[in-house]
Amino acid sequence: MVNPMTSFSNPKLSKRLKHFSTFYQGQSIIWDIGCDHGQLGLSFVHHPHQPAIHLVDPALPVIKTLRMKLQDSDIPRVQVFHNKGQDLKLSSAQSHFIFIAGMGGPEIVSILENLFPQLKEEDQVFISPHTKVLEVREFLRSQGECLLKEEVIFESGIWYPHFLLGRKGRLSSVFGDEIYQGEIGGQYREHLIEKLSKHRDNNSKSYLNFLKNF
């Protein structure tokens, strides 16, 4: 019989989530916002930095399932919150690393509007918007020099752009730059060129022109 703690606290991460987990910088608390099954957050249970793990989701069925599993597994340092990311309050006495993935750009922006004023120098936020990436970039530009890193990963036929954010970064460009570098970035650029070539609105034309001349 499989030990419930072993099976639940050692989730088998997808290629995408495993890559996302590498961005963690050793902060004292990990927040997994919109956690769903909690796989990303729970993958840090055995991390050498031993961070506290906060799993957050607005869906009550998700929260009930997580709480039942945690109750039976005795996993340490994990708390579950039935909450929206837009309502979270961060302790000023601890450092935070915040994952926000698996949701659309507008929702991520609304969460960032709540979190950004609370961030300290040592805090960082990782985001992976599924939609409206340019609108997310526009918001990031409005926040000043907050972009630490931008990358993209391809999994199961889907491209996932993602961003590491913090207090000491650089200004995000309108259409991106670092994200199109390297072999994977070049493939992503070609994917966008093909996709945008089918659009006729002015924003898409501007984006397409930028990519063709990158």
Per domain, the residue ranges of the chain are 4-171, 181-214
Cα gap 198→211, rounded to integer Å: 14
CB 95 within 8 A of CB 120: yes
What pLDDT digit, counting tens, does each position of 55-104 carry? 999 999 999 999 988 887 777 789 999 999 999 999 999 999 999 998 99
Per-residue DSSP letters for 117-158?
Answer: GG--TT-EEEEEESS-HHHHHHHHHHT-EEEEEEEEEEETTE
Residue 213 is given by DSSP the state: T
Geometric angle at alpha carbon 77, from 74 and 79, rounded to 5°: 90
What pLDDT digit, counting tens, does each position of 98-157 carry? 999 989 999 999 999 999 999 999 999 999 999 999 999 999 999 999 999 999 999 999
pTM above 0.95, yes or no: no
What pLDDT digit, counting tens, does each position of 163-180 carry? 999 999 999 999 999 999
Residue 177 is given by DSSP the state: S
What is the reported pLDDT for 41?
Answer: 95
What is the reported pLDDT for 11?
Answer: 66
- Give the CATH H-level superfamily of domain 4-171: Vaccinia Virus protein VP39 (3.40.50.150)
